[in-house]
Amino acid sequence: MLPLELIRKDPELVKRAAELKGEPAPVDEILRLDTRWRQATAAAELARAEQNALSKEFAKSKDQSLLPRMKRLGESAKFHGAEADRLRAELDRLLLHVPNLFHESVPVGESEADNVMVREWGSRPQLGFEPRPHYDIGEALDIMDFERAARVSGSRFAFLKGAGARLERALVQFMLDLHTREHGYTELLPPFLVNTASMLGTANLPKFGDEAFRVEGRDLWLIPTAEVPMTNFHRDEMLDGSQLPLNYVAYSPCWRSEAGAAGKDTRGYIRMHQFSKVELVKLVKPEASLEALEELTGHAEVVLQRLGLHYQVMAMCTADMGFAQYKKYDINAWAPGLGRYLEVSSCSVFNDFQARRANLRYRPAPGQPPRFVHTLNGSALALTRTIDCVIETYQQADGTVAVPDVLKPYMGGLEYLGPTG
Partner RNA sequence: GGGGAGGUGGCUGAGUGGUCGAAAGCGUCCGCCUGCUAAGCGGAUAGGGGGUGUGAAACUCCCUCGAGGGUUCGAAUCCCUCCCUUCCCGCCA
Choose the stretch contacting RNA; rule: CB under 7 A; options: 64-72, 126-134, 144-152, 222-230. 64-72
Binding mask 18-47 toward RNA (x if CB under 7 A, else -) reads --------------------x--xx-xxx-
- Binding part of the chain for RNA, among 2-10, 11-19, 97-105, 324-332 by CB under 7 A, reads 2-10
**What is the torsional sign of CA 409, 415, 420, 421?**
positive
What proportions of the chain, in percent to the nearest 5, are helix, strand and coil? 45, 20, 35
Q: Is 154 in the site for RNA (CB under 7 A)?
A: no
- Position 96 contacts RNA (CB under 7 A): no
Sign of the C-alpha dihedral computed for residues 259, 261, 265 and 270 taken in this order = negative
Q: Would you list the DSSP string of 74-113?
A: HHHHHHHHHHHHHHHHHHHHHHTTSPP---TTSPP-SSGG
C-alpha distance from residue 393 to each of 16, 396, 416 (Å): 43, 9, 13
Q: Do residues 204 and 212 lie in contact, with contact meaning Cβ atoms separated by under 8 Å?
A: yes
What three-state secondary structure class fits 210? helix
Which position among 166, 357, 361, 385 bears the catalytic label?
385
Order of strands, edge to edge, in the sheet holding 371-372?
A: 237-240, 360-363, 371-372
328 binds RNA (CB under 7 A): no
Residues of span 248-307 touching RNA by CB under 7 A: none
Binding status of residue 217 toward RNA by CB under 7 A:
no
Backbone angles phi, psi at 84, to 5 degrees: -60, -40
Closest to RNA by CB, 41 vs 257, is 41
Our finding on whether 83 is near RNA (CB under 7 A) is no
Provide the mask over 344-383, with x wherever binding to RNA is found by CB under 7 A and - wherever it is not.
Answer: -------------------x--xx-xx-------------
- In the complex with RNA, the residue whose CB is nearer, 234 or 310, is 234
Active-site annotation holds for 343: yes
256 is catalytic: yes
Number of Cα atoms under 13 Å in the Cβ half of residue 105: 12
Residues near RNA (CB under 7 A), total: 30
Query: Minimal CA–CA distance to 344: which of 336, 333, 360?
Result: 333
Q: In whole angstroms, what separates CA 38 from the centre of its chain?
A: 33
Q: Is 52 in the site for RNA (CB under 7 A)?
A: yes
Query: Judged by CB, which is closer to RNA: 30, or 178?
Result: 30
Residue 340 a catalytic site member: no
**Nearer to RNA (CB atom), residue 49 or residue 140:** 49
CA neighbours within 13 Å on the CB side: how many for 12? 0
CB of 44 to RNA, least distance (A): 7
The one catalytic residue in 198, 345, 346, 348 is 346
346 catalytic? Reply is: yes
Residue 75 falls in the annotated catalytic set: no
Q: What are phi and psi of 36, to 5 degrees?
A: -65, -40
Per CB under 7 A, residues contacting RNA are 3-5, 38, 41-42, 44-46, 48-49, 51-53, 55-56, 58-59, 67, 70-71, 73-74, 85, 238, 363, 366-367, 369-370
Residues tagged active-site = 256, 271, 343, 346, 385
